[in-house]
Amino acid sequence: MAAMNTPAPAGKPAPPGRPKDMAKRASILTAASKLFVQHGYGGVSMDQIAAEAGVSKLTVYSHYGDKDSLFAAAVQAHCERGMPTELFMPAPNVPLRVRLSEIAHAFLAMVMTPEAIAGHRVLCSPHVASSNLPKMIWDAGPKRINDAFTALLMRRIEAGELEINEPARAAGHFFTLLKGELHAQAVLGNYCGAGNTQDGNLDAHIESVVDLFLRAYAKA
């Protein structure tokens, strides 16, 4: 498996203040995401990413610094696409149950993609688990989602809809219940495709989680 923090090659750095080419940056991220899914973190080199993106290796390092940072950026982009900020914005006219269901559907759709499953498997490998990468990934993706959902719960508490002593812990409960056995099966390669849980009904799974969450925390 490749080293976790491959040092940037020697070379003349870009002049201070030189603007980045955002099209190249996007191409690098797209290429890296594709290769990480196909070959895993350890099976991908910065040379391969540069070739796939059609740029020099120096350009890859200029934009992302090292492979760890590039992997974390890929995770962040995946989470932002799957669960955009709009999902967590104040929406007092949207019933709480409806908003929880929307978030649940988006979350499961995001974590059950091949990209997300591949990333989870990467983080479970002993070499990666003992590195700084898991914390980088947590900060880039799951923490952002947990923090945004916690803020949403706090607004609903203030509105008198929920009664929760520890909103951050409750946010964790919600997402953990959603993943449950379904995500574990996917990581092991036993998942049968979108729209199916073990009992054949993703909607029923989400509805049961939302029901359980509201029974625990909805204000009577």
Per-residue model confidence as pLDDT tens digits over 191-208: 654 444 444 578 899 999
Sequence-separated (6 or more) residues with CB below 8 Å from residue 111: 117, 120, 179, 183
Q: What is the pLDDT of residue 156?
A: 96
CATH match of 82-217 with 2.60.120.1600: no
For residue 162, list its beta bridge partners. Answer: 218
- Round to whole Å and give the CA distance between 33 and 147: 24
44 close to 88: Cβ distance less than 8 angstroms: no
Query: Which of 76-90, 122-136, 189-203 has the weakest average pLDDT?
Result: 189-203
Sequence-separated (6 or more) residues with CB below 8 Å from residue 162: 96, 153, 156, 217, 218, 219
64 close to 28: Cβ distance less than 8 angstroms: yes
In the chain the first and final C-alpha atoms are separated, in Å, by 54
Instruction: Report long-range pairs for 175-178 (Cβ below 8 Å, ≥24 apart).
Output: 175/107, 175/145, 175/146, 175/149, 177/209, 177/212, 177/213, 178/104, 178/107, 178/108, 178/205, 178/206, 178/209
User: pLDDT for 16-57, tens place per residue?
Assistant: 445 568 899 999 999 998 998 888 888 899 999 999 999 999
Q: What is the pLDDT of residue 3?
A: 40
| Three-class DSSP category at 218 | strand
pLDDT reading at 136 higher than 50: yes
Nearest Cα to Cα of residue 206 among 98, 89, 82: 98
108 close to 206: Cβ distance less than 8 angstroms: yes
Q: What is the pLDDT of residue 8?
A: 44
Tell me the pLDDT band of 126, cut-offs 50, 70 and 90. confident
For residue 218, list its beta bridge partners. Answer: 162
pTM: 0.77
Name the average pLDDT for the chain: 84
**Higher pLDDT among residues 148 and 4, named by residue:** 148
* Domain spans in the chain, listed from the N-terminal domain onward: 82-217
